[in-house]
Every structure is written in structure tokens, then in C-alpha cells.
A and B are shown apart, each in its own frame.
Chain A
Amino acid sequence: MKLVFTEASLWKEVLLGASKLVNEITLIAGSDGVKMRALDPSHVVLVDVFFPRESLEEYESNNESFGLELDSFAEIIRRARKDDALSLELVGDKLKVSFKGKFLREFYEPTGEPSFKDLPDPKIDLKAEVRILPKVLAEAVEDIEMMSDNLTFEVTTGEFKIFSESEIGSASVEFQNGDEGIISIQSDGTQKGTYGIDFFSDLLSTIRSAEVAILSLSTDMPSKLVLELPAGARLVTFVAPRTA
């Protein structure tokens, strides 16, 4: 397997975000592109990252799949500099990570079992969908994160509300179709779910680097957040709810 990306900084942004949620990731080099899948240790979040084949400058794969300790892999990826190209090459049981910028830098990372290769997507019927500019979503999460360790999304036809409440106080941010930063709000009735706020605040930097954010949910079901990234890349997180 050998994969070359011209924009290492995009990988850096995505993997640093994912590394705050999960410890280990499974990389699958498929025919349509590179997929990375992981489950957080508390089994609350499922993370899916996808870089399409077209976003790569060079793509040689034989459907390889392997596991990576994200803590140490992210530490290597953190070394990416602006304008570096990134190359990932499987050499024996090690992943060779190279950055090509003003000069060549190479790192070797051990690989492991592809633990999450066969992990399916959650089977859920999501009845509400909000398309929102990532920066606006990030600011809303920041506005309410001081009040509680939970956040609640509530979507009705044309309206989207994010709020949190605890014994120290409450905070809410409300949007309507047509508001600046809102692309569309659709819902079949009122859909409402409460989630741990950390799973969103840890992703703030990655959210900001996305082009579009699509949040889907149904009452007391997992939320699905799709971050559409440059070059057709995508980061998807499913977060299990907190229910009364």
C-alpha cells in the first residue's frame, strides 16, 4: 500500500480531532479511497473518516486494513507542516509516514489488528437534519459548553435549538431557516436528543476546518454529525444519547 496526499495539513486537522475521541483506529485502503473507523473506549462515539481516491495524488492499494494507536500516530501527523505532502506506505508490519516539504522526513509506526474493520454503521432512522456552516455550529457549542457537561439538540420544522442546563444555569442558541449560517433545517415533527458535550467540544477545531456540517438526529437516538471537508474528505461521528 502506498498513498500520497498533497495536503498533509488536512490529515493533521482530521486526525488530531479524532485522536481526542478515540485511542485506536482501523485504516482500510479500499477501492474507492481510504477509510478510517474507530470506537471510543467508553463505546459512546463511533468515528468514521474518509478520503476519496480522487483526493490522493498516488494511490496503490490491495484492500489492506490494519490498526493504529491513534495517540502515537497523531503525534507523528502533528509534525506535518504547511505545504508538506504526506505519504503513507505499508512496509512489513510498519507504516512508513513521510512528509515531503523543503526536505524529506520519515517516521515508522507499528501497526496492529484492524479491530473495527467490520463494525457496521448504527441502524437508526434519523428524522431531523440541519445543514449549517461549521463555524456557526462551533460557536454555538462554545456558547453553551460553560453551563453543563450535556448538550441538547432540538429540531422542529424550520427551527434548530442547542441548549444546556444544570444547577449552575442554562444557555441556549436558537436558529431558524433563513438565519445566517443556516443552509437548511428539516424535521419530521419535533426531534430532541441529549449528548455529552465533550464529544462535540473536542472536535471544535476539526469542525472549523470543514466546509459544511450536517447534523442528523431523532429523539433519544444517536446523533450523526457529518463534516464535509476539503478535497471530498469526510469525518462522521455517531454519538450515543444520554436519556432520562
Chain B
Amino acid sequence: MSGRSSICVICKGTKGLCGLRECPLLARSRGVFKAYSSVVEKLDIAAPSPPSAIVGERGYPLVPLIYNIVPESGIENASLYDNPKLWHGRLGLKEIVELRSSLLGGILKVRVSDPWKLYEKEISLAAVSLSPIETEARFRRPPTLKLSFDSVLRPNGLLSPAEKIKVNSSPKLDKNLERMIWDDVLAKDALVELFLKGTDVYLLERALSLGLLGKRNNKKLVPTRWAITAVDDTISEFIKRKIQEFKVINEINVFSGEYLYNKFVIVLIPGTYEGAWIEIWHPKSIWAMNSSEAEVMISVDTIREGPLPPDGGFSAARLGVLEYLFNKRKTAKFIIIREVFPEYIVPVGNWHIRETVRNALKSTPTTVADYNELANVVEQKINSKVGVNLFKEMLKKMISQKSILDYLP
């Protein structure tokens, strides 16, 4: 983190040291100013919520709940401010940062064991509404600018402690989710059931986080960062078990996609389920700010356990691959390579990883004849020698494991 500060301190958004034409940090400041200007004179604000709510983890079990409203937006456009599926492929890093900077978050302190308090005030129901919610908020003091970029959470804007949040329109709920709120079902079973019925994972993240899922007497708020990975992993572990019954793919396919200066190459190879994640951070990218060489990270997922080490980025990407296999009724081994370029100067959450992998898997793959050709194709797609070598090692490891079925009469 200090590396990132140092380049920005030298640059201050004027020298373009990061390679971008405009500094996203400045863009964010501009967004924040916009929101701040519109609210600075008053502490009572009526504005729509996309909806958007974040449960923090600091102070657990007495945690902050941030309920976001958009002072600058009309109700018809508010949903854009918390809708990664709408952003993907349309908005650049600067636009996303600017958009999120316009959010004004009212902070309430909530005990995780008391989600009903939020339910009674309809705050948790508003947070999972399918359409924007008219909201009145009374703040204790003028909002303060608080930079919050995160590799799992989406960026957040201005914050201020809220004296009250009042929901002024009726939440429009997903029917399946609404039924599940009252069902006495374990949260993990509820997540799987809702996923199978087509409920969006971003809605599931909010429902889990706001304490709407789980056994009736044991519902709890879950910090949003944990909830995001919990949703990815719960659904993925379910699919992982399920696809064992399916046939193995019969060809080697390579998919790729790029968004927000992140490139993903996804390789599917025949075999029983096994997955690997190779992350390459080029020098000057966020986490390799002071490195002269690329920083790399590997995580592995097997039928038996995984991902190891845990990684929110891998969890998001893995869900995309598993959804693809589940829909195709197939099983496979896979390797995902994520290449992060220096222009990705602020993390904006892991949603773009999930969405880019999902979208890449909708494209037409390159089908290769054998593992030698596969290595050549990957070498052409990845601009990192260390990354290519890691891929070759991982591939060798995966295909070296024989199946006991090969030896049965």
C-alpha cells in the first residue's frame, strides 16, 4: 500500500505516471465533491437508494451498516449505481470510480445477532429490492470523504453517521427470496436453492449480508466482504459436487476476455474436476508498485478441498467457470490466468473478475489439438514469461495425474 501512495504522492494526478490519461483518484474526488456540494447545507436528505447496503466488519459483533443513497440521481437511474452487470463492458475504471463516489452512505451501528431490527424498519428488505427505493436520511453531521477501495468490495463514497434511515417506498422483492426469508433453512441451503431458481448472485450477497437468510432463530448479519466470498464459494462447492456426475469434456478449449486492464485466459482440459488460478501483477500495478518484476500468486482447487490459499478473486472467477460447466452438464479441469496491467491502479472489487470470466466463457473458444499447441496458444495470449512458465508447470502437474479407471478391465 505504501508503494501505491508513493507514486501518487509524486504524481498528484498531474504527471500521468500511472499511464492513464486521467487520474481515477481525482475523478473520485470530483464525484465526491459533486455529492458533497448537494448535501453540505442540510442534514436531512431525501434521495433514492439503488439499493445499496454494506455491512462492515470493524467492531464485530457491533458492526457498521452503510446504507447508500444517490443525492444526484433521480429514482429512474439510481439502480445503475450498484449494478455490476450493467457496468461490465460499458463503464471504464474512471466512470466506475466516479459513479461510486457519488454515493452517500448513512452509517448505522447494528449488532450482528439482531437482523430483525433492520427488518422491522424495512431497511434490510429495501436493500434487497429489485428496484430503487425512495429514502429519507437524517445525518448527525456533514459527510466526510473516506477513500475506500477494496479487492472484494465495490468502491464507496461519502459517509456520515445516520440518525435515521426511513424507507419511503415499498421494496419490490424477488419472490423466491421473499419465501426463503421466512423458511427455516440453513443459509447455505437457501443460497443453493435460490441460485438454482435463478436469483442473481449480487442479490444473494446482499440478502446474506443483511441477515435475511439462515435458520429462523439464528439469522445474523454477515460483513459484506465475507458474504461475497461465502456466496461464491457456497454455490461453487455445490456445483463442484454436482458436476462429478457429468461427462468429462472431450476437447481442450481456451477462452479469453479483458476488462478494466485485467486479462483472463481460461483453459478447460479433459479430466475430473481440478482448478488452478495464476495471478500475474505486472510491475507498477497496484500490488507490484515497487517491483521490477511481475508479482505472481497461485491458488489451487481440488475436489477434496479448495481454493488453497483462499482468494476472493479466484472464488469469483471459479464461480464463472463452474456455472459454465454446470450449464453444459460437463466436468473438466481448468486453469485461469489473470494478468493485471499497471493501468489498474485502484481495485474496484471482485465483481469484474466474475463478470469478465462469465463473459469470456460466452465467447467462441480456441480449440487446440494437444498440450503442446495449448502451451503455444497460452504463450501468445499472456505477456509474461513467468506467467507462461507457471502455466506450463501447472498443466504438467494436472495432466500427470492418471485415473484409476484407466487400469480397470
Contact = CB atoms under 8 A, between A and B. Distances in A.
A88 interface: no
Interface string A27-68: 000000000000111111110000000000000000000000
A151 B110 CA distance: 51
B407 A43 contact: no
Given A41-B244, A42-B304, A122 B401 contact: no
A121 B405 CA distance: 10
A118 B400 CA distance: 27
A244 B272 CA distance: 18
Interface string B376-409: 0000000000000000000001001111111111
B402 A242 contact: yes
Interface in A208-244: 221-222, 238-244
A29 to B, nearest CB: 24
Contacts of B409: 120, 122-123
A166 to B, nearest CB: 11
B274 interface: yes
B40 interface: no
Contacts of A241: 402
A221 B272 contact: no
B401 A196 contact: yes
Contacts of A43: 272, 403-405
Centre residue among B272, B303, B401 by max chain A CB count within 10 A: B401
Contact of B272 (A41, A120, A243): A41
Contacts of B302: 42
Given A43-B272, A44-B401, A240 B406 contact: yes
A42 B274 contact: yes
B139 interface: no
Contacts of A221: 407
B273 interface: yes
A89 interface: no
Interface residues of B, number: 19
B326 to A, nearest CB: 16
Contact of B404 (A198, A222, A243, A244): A222
Contacts of B304: 40-42, 198
Nearest to B274: A42
Main secondary structure on chain A at its contact with chain B?
A: loop
Nearest to B401: A242
A168 interface: no
A239 B406 CA distance: 12
Interface in B288-325: 302-304
Centre residue among B241, B273, B303 by max chain A CB count within 10 A: B303
A104 interface: no
B303 A222 contact: no
A23 B240 CA distance: 13
Contact of A122 (B272, B303, B400, B408): B408
B404 A46 contact: yes
A91 interface: no
Contact of A44 (B397, B404, B408): B404
B211 to A, nearest CB: 28
Given A42-B303, A42-B304, A124 B407 contact: yes
A174 B11 CA distance: 61
Nearest to B406: A240
Contacts of B400: 242-244
Contact of B407 (A23, A40, A123, A196): A123
B272 A240 contact: no
A241 B401 CA distance: 6
Contacts of A244: 400
Contact of B403 (A23, A121, A198, A240): A240
Interface in A91-140: 119-124
A43 B402 CA distance: 9
Contacts of A44: 401-404
Contact of B408 (A23, A42, A45, A120): A120
Given A42-B273, A42-B304, A198-B304, A240 B407 contact: yes
B333 to A, nearest CB: 10
A243 B396 CA distance: 9
Contacts of A240: 401-404, 406-407
A222 B407 contact: yes
Contact of A119 (B244, B274, B408): B408
Contacts of A40: 303-304
Contacts of B397: 242
B82 to A, nearest CB: 38
Centre residue among B302, B304, B397, B406 by max chain A CB count within 10 A: B304
Centre residue among A41, A46, A120 by max chain B CB count within 10 A: A41
Contacts of A119: 408
Interface string A180-209: 000000000000000010100000000000
Interface of A: 23, 39-46, 119-124, 196, 198, 221-222, 238-244
Given A42-B274, A120-B408, A122-B409, 16 more contacts: A39-B404, A40-B303, A41-B244, A41-B272, A41-B303, A42-B302, A42-B303, A43-B272, A46-B404, A120-B409, A121-B408, A123-B407, A221-B407, A238-B404, A242-B397, A242-B401
CB-CB nearest 3 A-B residue pairs = A122-B407, A123-B409, A41-B303
26 contacts: A23-B241, A39-B404, A40-B303, A40-B304, A41-B272, A41-B273, A42-B272, A42-B303, A42-B304, A42-B401, A44-B401, A44-B404, A120-B408, A122-B404, A122-B408, A123-B407, A123-B409, A221-B407, A222-B402, A222-B404, A222-B407, A239-B404, A240-B406, A240-B407, A241-B402, A244-B400
Interface of B: 241, 244, 272-274, 302-304, 397, 400-409
